[in-house]
Structure 1
């Protein structure tokens, strides 16, 4: 009996019919529940039939689960349960090549890119393969999107391959590194490779089928165009992709999100409709965390553009918990307060928001901007000083020094600069030397303005020690030394390179002094002495008035002449006026009715007095009418021409 069951199972396996294999294996397992071959045949048939949950249950109920570790991990991977898949792989006794490859794919899906890259390099050293090289580049692309400063080896980026997937992944890496021209070239190359491959496999393939296969590459092309500023072209590509690829939820979701980004605050209703595609079922497991974060931010911005301020703030609070390292939610929430024009005490609301999140740099900057916008510079400076992580950044230091100048607090500005310089002197990172030089220069200029010449000499001397060819620092050092040690100033000035002068045109000192006087007079713009005396006499705090400007002469332009105008003959001045305004022309038509005003009342109605006027029997005897020869000629003039043609 059992022999017949195994014969039937063998026949089903040879037929490659998965349903028959599962049915035959079930019959064997009913007779022999512990048969390892029957269990393995059933599990493999279930995997080929995409019955992953059933395969996992079959393995779990079997006593031979230890021999099916790879099948168990593969079923979990296809079920998109990557955490359990990796747990099974790491706990398995099998350490085969196929198990390592499955582990590398699971690590990629879990966005543990560095581990996946290391494992793929190991696999490629053992068995080089085009597909594994493509997966390696995909890992580098994911790592670069997560960290744009991640370096990709040149041998990986420059490796040519005929597979369009490999070229597409290289385009992703270039996009993440903001090398947009390179990314555009690579995505065009990938599209051509894809078309060539499709036509080689099927010469009769239709253009519609080709467009469906190119959907992913087209979306990438749209992303590149969008980053190049050609948003309308990118939007047309996204719309075409959505129209022909309704079945691909991932592609439709990404294209719809990008359309929302193009729309910004325009066409909000259309953006709401597009955002529905980003909430498709099962999409959460198909997108990277970076993509999901961007979609969440766009949904929050859409609430802002829809004027749903309360919902937008609630969404910002949730996003801040979900993505604590991002400053975008705080920036959006701060903008909700700035957007409400009628709300009073915006600064107080922003201050309360900063109190809730004391370490948020973006909120502190927005609060400082709001104070500075209304001229409240002391509060703006205190808002900047709230966040210690901002204290040594060059942009912050420059802004703080500018505020201190406005507040006439030079000591605070000097103290801020000294602490920042001490911090950057300890740094060994790339670019710290340039930052230090900028801060030292700013400190020296500030000391010069405060007339602390000895300290300014030391500051500029530090700059020259770091870069002896810094002529700007040498010139500033000479200015400072001229106030302290004139001999040393002359000594340093002698080391300056000579001026390049034209021998034919010697330097005119008088012209230079006169030019300087003109420049000073132009920039000072002092009030006239008589006006200043009047202001002092009246004891009023009059602001110095600018010098009276010479009125500009208006250019008299020649009037336009008709094409047939005669030279030397003035055209008729009335030709530009309407006919009814011309001299001797017909005026406006007057009301021909007697009495001028239009009569009101029922048609045909008249008073008795008016009827009496019209009764001929009541009129006095009138003189006989004149003969026709003496009467005024009627109709003897030029006959009126009847209007013809179409009415306009």
Structure 2
């Protein structure tokens, strides 16, 4: 073939039109002997290497060629060199380059940059399903769930991929029951399609993770172990091994080996996943007294620029455990981040150093930049509430509600007001939010607050007329607008005044007090599973065919404690009553004494002189 280049080129063209990349690669290799510096031939070979997934060979060959920037960036992306990929894509405005840049941002877990890139791409191509799927996945970073789930471009129904990404966002914001419903819907879709076998196990792994977050640890462990037996995907196995170690609270040498194997080069984990596994490894290593190894891993985690909050928390924990009190305080204060201040306040409150915690709070008040985060207000209110400063927590949330007017902070303020019994005020807070925004979760909270307020009013006014009761009740019924449909079932509140407090249980989708319900369920299951112990019988005794009388149930007790022994003790003589020395008389005579007669008891003895 090398003897006739023209014929080889014709054959090569036929293979290119047919898309037979293995054949293209073989022909290019033969032609290189004749034309080693042919640029078109080198480009064709590089593309064939990419199509056959021989990325390392393609990377070595492309170093000898000028141009081919997109192929160069794509090869770097596939080899996991995401920062090199970004360097090549920098300044390029073509859609292909921008899409590759957005994917590199996502793989590096630089979620804000990925979101911004995808938003611009979607403006020019709003109907692209691929862009919408990747865009929805970009909100999977910590703390971005609330933004993603309310984004206008993700509100309409999409494929199973968008539904799966929505479930991840619902998990991030704590709506676990909604996330489970979404994932079960996705599971039904992917199970029916045989080409989506591996995707099925990804969905199952996410379901198990939600059970783990809901503290149903045993259910999560069973699901994880089932997936490990079935799937062959290395990425899924790596993440499940990590989650299993956390669920089982393993801190032994085997746990460290499992985590180390999960970080192998063959596993294509994102930066967020790698950093999560490394942080768990560092924590276990520290607990096993491998201090230097733990510190080295924490330094390695810093280069990923993710999990900043957890990384800082573990660093502070290590310093605190080593009793370097001044160092961990300075470490957290130097971060100048709300989460660092909050962590320090929490530690000080646990150490009963309320004065120092108050000083940090005042410092935060003076630094307005720290208060630009609404999550700070919510977390700070929880800390104040736990410390007993409930009124200060309410005031802080009221201030945050005025600044942000966001669903999360409104919900936190309303729930706290309901907890302390200020139901009318809570109703007003929810109503003010709904006047500007329509939100199902807030509307359900409004119905709960109004219903409890109504029940409280009925109990306080037992003589009120039925007409007035009905009038107030109809006001609550009118608040349910937009809640009754197939997905968001809300049963009628008209179940009697005494049952109106149970409205929380009749809001299926609101996920109200789920933790309390889970705990009650666990207690009920434990009580139901309590085993009745069979009585122990002597050796050789058959209770079905007893030849002798049944064994004494008190045979395990000491003899002095048995009832028969006590009865025998009572059969003694009667105890004597009365003053000491008194004796019973029989016919004028003391029992056991001499007969009465003349006595010399009072006669003075001879020779005894009276004393004056």
Normalising by the smaller structure, the TM-score range is: 0.5 to 0.7
Question: Any stretches of 5+ residues in structure 2 without a counterpart?
Answer: 335-339, 418-424, 432-459, 466-551, 569-612
Pick from 266, 271, 277: which aligns with 2:261? Answer: 277
Write out aligned runs for 1:219-298 (5 A): 219-246=205-232, 248-264=233-249, 266=250, 268-283=252-267, 286-298=268-280
Corresponding residue of 1:41: 44
State the shift of 1:84 in Å.
3.2
SS in 1 for 2:146: coil
Is the Cα contact below 8 Å between 2:98 and 2:117 reproduced in 1?
A: no
Corresponding residue of 1:551: none
Alpha-carbon separation, structure 1, partners of 2:386 and 2:263: 47
Is the Cα contact below 8 Å between 2:28 and 2:45 reproduced in 1?
A: yes
Is the Cα contact below 8 Å between 2:271 and 2:304 reproduced in 1?
A: no
State the shift of 1:275 in Å.
1.5
Pick from 283, 289, 292: which aligns with 1:301? Answer: 283
State the shift of 1:197 in Å.
1.9
Is the Cα contact below 8 Å between 1:242 and 1:255 reproduced in 2?
A: yes
Is the Cα contact below 8 Å between 2:271 and 2:306 reproduced in 1?
A: no
SS in 1 for 2:148: coil
State the shift of 1:368 in Å.
2.0
Is the Cα contact below 8 Å between 2:2 and 2:8 reproduced in 1?
A: no
Which deviations, in whole Å up to 9, do the C-alpha atoms of 1:429-456 show, x marking residues without a partner?
Answer: 548899999999xxxxxxxxxxxxxxxx
Alpha-carbon separation, structure 2, partners of 1:317 and 1:56: 30
Say if 2:145 is the partner of 1:148: yes
CA RMSD of aligned residues (A): 5.3
Pick from 150, 169, 192: which aligns with 2:165? Answer: 169
Pick from 191, 197, 201: which aligns with 1:195? Answer: 191
State the shift of 1:254 in Å.
0.7
Alpha-carbon separation, structure 1, partners of 2:163 and 2:351: 51
Corresponding residue of 2:549: none
Alpha-carbon separation, structure 1, partners of 2:261 and 2:226: 15
Say if 2:132 is the partner of 1:136: yes
Alpha-carbon separation, structure 2, partners of 1:228 and 1:584: 56
Corresponding residue of 1:326: 308
State the shift of 1:8 in Å.
1.8
Alpha-carbon separation, structure 1, partners of 2:63 and 2:224: 45
Q: 1:17 to 1:137 in 2, by over 3 A?
A: closer
Q: 1:330 to 1:69 in 2, by over 3 A?
A: closer
Q: 1:232 to 1:274 in 2, by over 3 A?
A: farther
Alpha-carbon separation, structure 1, partners of 2:22 and 2:169: 43
Corresponding residue of 1:358: 333
SS in 1 for 2:129: helix
Q: 1:188 to 1:37 in 2, by over 3 A?
A: same
State the shift of 1:280 in Å.
1.1
Corresponding residue of 1:117: 118
Alpha-carbon separation, structure 2, partners of 1:38 and 1:334: 58
Alpha-carbon separation, structure 1, partners of 2:29 and 2:565: 113
Pick from 161, 181, 188: which aligns with 1:185? Answer: 181
Alpha-carbon separation, structure 2, partners of 1:171 and 1:425: 27
Q: 1:317 to 1:240 in 2, by over 3 A?
A: same
Corresponding residue of 1:50: 53
State the shift of 1:38 in Å.
2.5
Corresponding residue of 1:482: none
Alpha-carbon separation, structure 2, partners of 1:165 and 1:83: 27
Corresponding residue of 1:537: none
State the shift of 1:338 in Å.
7.0
Corresponding residue of 1:72: 72
Pick from 24, 27, 52: which aligns with 2:27? Answer: 24
SS in 2 for 1:358: helix
Question: Any stretches of 5+ residues in structure 1 without a counterpart?
Answer: 202-209, 341-345, 406-413, 441-462, 470-498, 505-573, 587-648
State the shift of 1:118 in Å.
2.1
State the shift of 1:400 in Å.
8.1
Write out aligned runs for 1:610-621 (5 A): none
Which deviations, in whole Å up to 9, do the C-alpha atoms of 1:582-638 show, x marking residues without a partner?
Answer: 56999xxxxxxxxxxxxxxxxxxxxxxxxxxxxxxxxxxxxxxxxxxxxxxxxxxxx
Larger Rg: 1
Pick from 369, 389, 407: which aligns with 2:349? Answer: 369
Corresponding residue of 1:530: none
Write out aligned runs for 1:460-499 (5 A): none
Is the Cα contact below 8 Å between 1:77 and 1:106 reproduced in 2?
A: yes
Corresponding residue of 1:81: 81
State the shift of 1:26 in Å.
4.5
Is the Cα contact below 8 Å between 2:241 and 2:262 reproduced in 1?
A: yes
Q: 1:396 to 1:260 in 2, by over 3 A?
A: same
Q: 1:332 to 1:114 in 2, by over 3 A?
A: closer
Which deviations, in whole Å up to 9, do the C-alpha atoms of 1:360-405 show, x marking residues without a partner?
Answer: 3245325523541xxx655565566566658995876898899999
Higher relative contact order (CA 8 A, sep 6+): 2
Is the Cα contact below 8 Å between 2:163 and 2:186 reproduced in 1?
A: yes
State the shift of 1:149 in Å.
3.1
Alpha-carbon separation, structure 1, partners of 2:79 and 2:348: 50
Corresponding residue of 2:201: 215
Corresponding residue of 1:6: 6
Normalising to structure 2: TM-score of the pair?
0.54
State the shift of 1:262 in Å.
0.6
